[in-house]
Structure 1
Amino acid sequence: MKRLVNLRPSRPAGILLGLLPVFALLLIYVIASDARLEANPNDKLLPSFAQMGEAINRLAFEPSKRTGEYLFWQDTGSSLTRLGLGIGIAALIGFTFGLITGALPVAYSSMAPLITVISLIPPMALLPILFIVFGLGELSKVALIIFGVAPFIARDIQRCAQEIPREQLIKAQTLGASSWHIVWRVLIPQLLPRLINAVRLSLGAGWLFLIAAEGIASTDGLGYRIFLVRRYLSMDVILPYVAWITLLAFIIDWLLARLSLWAFPWHHTGGAR
């Protein structure tokens, strides 16, 4: 008898099994929404899909009477710009410090403890400080993402650099490579795909910091809109916005995965991901 631990579904079966829980949750939501709306047509807790569609259609395809802009797309563009700047700068800073501390024992002894301490500070606790120092504009929001994500990336790259087999470094030195050549020709090529993995893992935190900053002090953005309409219990706007954020996060993660496969195919051979 074939054991359950050895059963591996085919690709179509795997896709179907992955979609079943999603369809089940949607079905449960539809049933619960219909029941609540039947009892109270003015209920706002579980809006129907038609109500959510009308709300998003109004925000996405009808210009605002106050500004003349399409709020849904304006919010999306503002949030993606802030997230892209924050994650991009954090990746650059984290990769630089992770590479230096992972490659140079002297730098590790002097800088690694500080990076560890910074990574343990809750970024949300610093949000008031960032608002005081940088103001309520774009800089404070981007700074929160950088502060929250960069230490994680730095520690991950540091660990990956230290895990590179020592034999590779010895062989490079035997062939006459300097410290700079070892960093440039041995370490960086192997750490770049791991940087993409670190960015993918940090995206969830990046979204969290972005939405929190937008919800507290902003005039546009996905997080701002969610916090703005919550006072009116507008679940017909909140739920589609949450779904849209989830979809954007999935697309960005998928694009980064494709980029890694395209740029570093050797890193993914043998089932590595």
Structure 2
Amino acid sequence: MATPAQALRALGVLVNSTTFWQNANASLTRIALGVGTGCAIGFAFGVLAGHNAKLRGLLEPLRWLLMAMPPVVVVVLAMLWFGLGSSMVIFITVLMMAPGMYVNTVKGMQLVDRSLVEMTHVYRYGAWMRLRHLYLPALAAPLTAALLIATCGGVRLVVMAEVLGAESGAGFALANARSTFDSGELYAWVILILGLVAALEFLLLQPLQRRLTQWQEPRKEHA
């Protein structure tokens, strides 16, 4: 087992290698495509289901099935359908990310003040103006919280899928380090993955959340 000092030395060697950038780019691309597409699909269906009770009832069993299914089962099925590679990893991420965003969007839509909705109809707001000026500001807090959870969960899903069935990426490199008993490189990849999650949360998602929800903060009264 590598010591912390050995893991840090292995981290320096890893970052300076050519294979690191290839694997890092592959994982980052899969995370961006998988999480972004999954959240977009979940948001779109959530907005539609928030307006239509029949559609919501139709989607509820599918949502429950996807949220109840263990991710490893989805990985095995996706490997049979898509084989090894990026398509399999992205498919799994989209399938696992969409239900969470869908649930948060539907719940947020149901909590929007009905009087405000009626006011947009009185002033004849179109669907786009209603979405932009009413629903998006009202959904900012739950959606940014859901996006934070989805991004962190998406990183874990991508790495797990790469470990089980990919030919590149951080998870693939982790699996190789495990098979060769190179614990220093294995710990180095773990440190990098933790650093990626921390960077996404503190440098991207939390500032985005503060920006989108700043209108909800009480304004300071001028003296």
Please confirm whether the aligned pair reaches a TM-score higher than 0.5, indicating the same fold: yes
1:177 is displaced (CA, Å) by 4.0
| Partner SS, residue 260 of structure 1 | helix
Larger RCO (CA within 8 A; separation ≥ 6): 2
1:163 partner letter = L
1:192 is displaced (CA, Å) by 4.4
**Aligned to 2:211, which of 262, 265, 273?**
262
1:86 is displaced (CA, Å) by 0.2
- The 5 A counterparts of 1:65-144 are 70-144=18-92
Aligned partners of 2:24 and 2:140: how far apart in 1?
29
Contact 1:75–1:225 (CA under 8 A) maintained in structure 2: yes
How far does the alpha carbon of each residue in 1:180-218 deviate from its partner, in whole angstroms, 9 at most, with x for none? Answer: 654454223432453232110122321221111111222
1:225 is displaced (CA, Å) by 1.1
Aligned length: 218
1:91 partner letter = C
Contact 1:123–1:147 (CA under 8 A) maintained in structure 2: no
Contact 1:124–1:209 (CA under 8 A) maintained in structure 2: no
Structure 1 unaligned residues grouped into runs of 5+: 1-44, 63-69
Contact 2:34–2:91 (CA under 8 A) maintained in structure 1: yes
- The 5 A counterparts of 1:217-228 are 217-228=165-176
Aligned partners of 1:178 and 1:257: how far apart in 2?
31
Which residue of the partner structure matches residue 164 of structure 2? 216
Give the structure-2-normalised TM-score. 0.87
Aligned partners of 1:182 and 1:106: how far apart in 2?
21
Aligned partners of 2:218 and 2:68: how far apart in 1?
35
2:59 partner letter = M
| Partner SS, residue 233 of structure 1 | coil
**Aligned to 1:197, which of 145, 162, 165?**
145
1:56 is displaced (CA, Å) by 2.5
Q: Cα RMSD over matched residues?
A: 2.2
Greater Rg over alpha carbons, structure: 1
Closer/same/farther in 2, CA of residues 48 and 264 from structure 1, 3 Å limit: closer
Aligned partners of 1:83 and 1:179: how far apart in 2?
31
1:60 partner letter = V
| Partner SS, residue 136 of structure 1 | coil
Which residue of the partner structure matches residue 67 of structure 1? none
1:152 is displaced (CA, Å) by 1.0
2:3 partner letter = P
**Aligned to 1:61, which of 6, 10, 16?**
16
Which residue of the partner structure matches residue 47 of structure 1? 3
Closer/same/farther in 2, CA of residues 200 and 48 from structure 1, 3 Å limit: closer
Structure 2 unaligned residues grouped into runs of 5+: none
How far does the alpha carbon of each residue in 1:118-163 deviate from its partner, in whole angstroms, 9 at most, with x for none? Answer: 3222232121221121121211100011111111111111111111
- The 5 A counterparts of 1:164-203 are 164-177=112-125, 181-203=129-151
Contact 1:118–1:151 (CA under 8 A) maintained in structure 2: yes
Aligned partners of 1:100 and 1:232: how far apart in 2?
50
Give the structure-1-normalised TM-score. 0.72
Closer/same/farther in 2, CA of residues 112 and 56 from structure 1, 3 Å limit: same
1:46 is displaced (CA, Å) by 3.9
Closer/same/farther in 2, CA of residues 131 and 59 from structure 1, 3 Å limit: same
